[in-house]
Chains A and B, each alone.
Chain A
Amino acid sequence: MEAIQNITLKVWRQDGPADGGRFENYNVPEISDEASFLEMLDVLNERLINEGKEAIVFDHDCREGICGTCSLMINGQAHGPARMTATCQLHMRKFASNDTIVVEPWRASAFPILKDLMVDRSAFDRIIEVGGFITAPTGGAPDANLIPIPKPVADAAMDAAECIGCGACVAACPNGAANLFTSAKIAHLNMLPQGQAERFARTEAMVEKMDEHFGSCTNHGECEAACPKGISLDFIALMNQDYRKSKFKNRKSLSRT
């Protein structure tokens, strides 16, 4: 264990959605390189409370990189400098003494800032609510082994299903687009045999709900680079393919006039 010294944090503070917000500087004189980035913020917050100041508000929960609650733009990168690592799993050994670190919330018009570093990502839930599921009411499901699913298919669906819904893709995108998130959710279900019945209705509904809230994709690829789970850009191509198919060929099967 080694200590990292004299870190300067420039942290975005904003009192509420209507407030203009500003950067405030904090010095962290010493922190262990074993500490996680969020543990450093915990230590800073405890100090702020001891000084009678309000703690910095940030979203976080599992601290195991799976719940997708944590966020933060760290030096302009979503989830910071480590590849395929959510902020909660970023450790201070990635930084050096005397570093200045800029900490900001996700910035996207679909994710309004609630306070300091906390944003509202409920637009993601709205996308799922219109089609991100397989209609399978409880009870009456057939035996689980009735439909064999080839391992490569199950693995590919799992690759898409690993998305943790953190919103880094949106934050990293210059357009604030949610195509990586939406396409991962669509691909997970559209690739499985169970998901075929609703495949095209699902794709249309989710894409169109996405377009209500988020910007448009122009294939920058920043989303894939920022994704802590390494979700592939390929899923966006699959989504676009299904969307086009649906628009051109499946109007009748969707019983639309």
Chain B
Amino acid sequence: MSVVLDPKVPDGPLAEKWDNYKFEAKLVNPANKRKFKIIVVGTGLAGASAAATLAELGYTVDAFTFHDSPRRAHSIAAQGGINASKNYHGDGDSVHRLFYDTIKGGDFRSREANVHRLAQVSSNIIDQMVAQGVPFAREYGGLLDNRSFGGAQVSRTFYARGQTGQQLLLGAYQQLARQIGLGGVRLFNRSELVDVVTVDGRSAGIVVRDLITGEITSHAAHAVVLATGGYGNAFFLSTNAMNCNVTAAWRAHRKGAYFANPCYTQIHPTCIPQSDDTQSKLTLMSESLRNDGRVWVPSKIDDERPAAQIPENERDYYLERLYPSFGNLAPRDISSRAAKRAVDSGRGVGPLKNGVNLDFQSAIDRLGFDTVWERYSNLFEMYERITGEDPTKTPMRIYPASHYTMGGLWVDYELMTTVPGLYCAGEANFSDHGANRLGASALMQGLSDGYFVLPYTIGNYLAPMLNKPTPGTDHPEFKAAELAAKARYHGYVSIGGTKSPDHFHRELGHIIWDYCGMERTAEGLEKALAELPALYEEFKTDLRVTGTDEGVNQTLEKAGRVDDFFQLGMLMCRDALEREESCGGHFRVEYQDAEGEALRDDENFSHVAAWEWTGDPMTSIRNKEELTFDNVHLAVRSYK
């Protein structure tokens, strides 16, 4: 029996909803806030900013990270920038334009009210981060500099060299560190969430595994925030950090939190192509490079001449040709598919013919070497370290790779999952990017959720719970979850099979990439859904984890994460199969127009698919949240 979900969007005109909400929300008296314990899992942008702000307000906060330090979270790797509708350059930006660009960029598959709130608080984020000492790029007059990014025709992206994510995360981490020093936050590092506990349908706390000792312990709280990132590593090869995983979100899903739109994954167009089979990780080259780099492939098939020997008239600058008004700044999903088609047509470049050129020669000719070097030096150096080639002399080779996941735990307007008291923030939730995320919007969303949304919405939930008893860690539900977790991790060690967790992860990734990657077909997805359960069965009987479940065991950690990726992988394919349209990052070959562009079906699929756990990912129930658009016109998303 499927249900229709209520996102609890406040009344009133779009631009007034958030103000209305904040006024209506129940408050907790400052003296009473310390009586409430809040658990925050994950210390990336969303988690660190939420934990710091909640502690500043006076709540008692426990923060958990599986890293050795909160400052390692993968937000740190974001390169290009963060969007905000400051309109500092007077080029026509506004809250409404950022809202519209994000809705359109998401191919009209996100919730209007959430996206508008995101655009509204975007300016506060920049103010806040500058006050904290984030050294954003400046112009000579001392004012903040901006650059443009894919999917927008205004310059609204703030940046700190090619390390914007690093600087923002350090800012949020410093605020968190301050609270740890003051005693407002207790930090549990090298601690991985292994289960979520609910009592009478409400969130009661979590169970974590200490990655140093292997000990499994329970932690109770009035509310739990999961800010645990995306699931891009389901593809095995991705630009995500090696340890990124879906376990926290998936364990919450198994305890009643619906999982929304798992098939919406973003394949980023500018990554360094795979060089050989031993590769375990792909490296992103910031999308900001497309500001000055021109994408091209040879016009002829199997043209093996070096780039410099291919004359202008034998080059196909395909993005400029196909999308003249956005050119090399066409959105990610569109650029990725165009690159795939160029390579599939036999015009790929590089030793394995698996890339396209990103060429800086015209920018160097136009702006001079020094200007181009100043803008991108750290990216150029990184590229050279990895490939041994100098991108100012020969074009970079790039190819799309799994990068970001728009899908995630379903949350309402308050960022609460379908489990009361369990919240989800940042990439781990599904809320703001629809079927495709625009560049420089992930950092914005993580900080928006953590700094400016959760601190308001959590109070509204907690206020009525004042002085009421809540279940402690001696509750039978906690004990049962601890026992199950112990059995689970002991189980991996006891299988005694023949293949490593990495082996299964790689095989799983191949299937997901081949059938649920940049282009999907019903036939391919059905094939994946036949192969995945068989491979999963093999995982359960032939896995080999050496060592024990006590002390440090990275092989065992990996086994638990791969297990959850298997279950998620099946759900991704089922979601992709049932969404019989193309939208954003979800491209079904059967649904395209005469020019090969995505063909949406607004009549039948203008909704969020929110999956409900039944005990087996192959039988999960597909629930819906209908999307209504009162403020934008559902248009064909054109970047021509």
Contacts and interface: CB of A to CB of B under 8 A. Distances in A.
Interface string B531-546: 0000000000000111
Interface in A40-70: 40, 42-43, 45-46, 48-50, 52-55, 57, 59-69
Given A55-B554, A68-B71, A154 B137 contact: yes
A75 interface: no
B613 interface: no
Interface stretch (B171-179, B458-466, B627-635): B171-179
Nearest to B136: A154
A204 B290 CA distance: 44
Interface stretch (B138-146, B327-335, B564-572): B138-146
A186 B626 CA distance: 51
Contacts of B67: 61, 69
B241 A63 contact: yes
A137 B283 contact: no
A122 B68 contact: yes
A46 B502 contact: yes
A62 B76 contact: yes
B132 A134 contact: yes
**Which secondary structure dominates chain A's binding surface?**
loop
Interface string B444-458: 000000011001000
A215 B551 CA distance: 29
B131 A134 contact: yes
B135 A161 contact: yes
Interface in B425-484: 451-452, 455
A207 interface: no
Nearest to A136: B131
B128 A141 contact: yes
Interface stretch (A97-105, A175-183, A187-195, A241-249): A187-195
Contacts of A63: 241-242, 280-281, 283
Contact of A125 (B69, B382, B385, B554): B69
A150 interface: yes
Interface residues of B, number: 86
B15 interface: no
A48 B56 CA distance: 48
Contacts of B76: 62, 66-67
Given A132-B177, A194-B132, A64 B382 contact: yes
A257 interface: no
B137 A161 contact: no
Contact of A138 (B52, B77, B278): B52
Interface in B23-69: 49, 52-53, 56, 67-69
Contacts of B545: 49
Contacts of A118: 552
Given A53-B546, A114-B212, A148-B141, A64 B284 contact: yes
B72 A129 contact: no
A50 B127 contact: no
Instruction: Identify the interface centre among B73, B88, B167, B178: most chain A CB within 10 Å of its CB.
Output: B178
A39 B451 CA distance: 37
A135 B140 contact: no
B351 interface: yes
Given A67-B72, A132-B174, A42 B133 contact: no
Contacts of A132: 174, 177
B276 interface: yes
B455 A138 contact: yes
Interface stretch (B158-166, B304-312, B591-599): B158-166
A31 B278 CA distance: 9
A132 B71 CA distance: 13
Nearest to A93: B388
Interface string B139-158: 11111100000000000000
B555 interface: yes
B297 interface: no
B132 A133 contact: yes
B279 A39 contact: yes
Interface in A78-106: 82, 84-85, 89, 91, 93
Given A85-B385, A89-B385, A122-B68, A48 B546 contact: yes
Interface string A108-147: 0000001100101110110011101111111101111101
B181 interface: yes
B135 A16 contact: no
Given A35-B276, A49-B544, 5 more contacts: A15-B551, A69-B67, A69-B72, A129-B178, A133-B133
13 contacts: A39-B278, A40-B278, A54-B555, A55-B547, A61-B241, A63-B242, A66-B76, A66-B166, A128-B173, A141-B128, A155-B138, A157-B133, A189-B133
Interface of B: 49, 52-53, 56, 67-74, 76-77, 86, 88, 124, 126-133, 135-144, 160-161, 163, 165-167, 170, 173-175, 177-178, 180-181, 187, 189, 212, 241-243, 275-276, 278-281, 283-284, 351, 381-382, 385-386, 388, 451-452, 455, 498-500, 502-503, 544-547, 551-555
Q: Which 7 A-B pairs have the closest CB atoms?
A: A148-B142, A129-B181, A133-B174, A141-B131, A34-B275, A141-B127, A136-B131
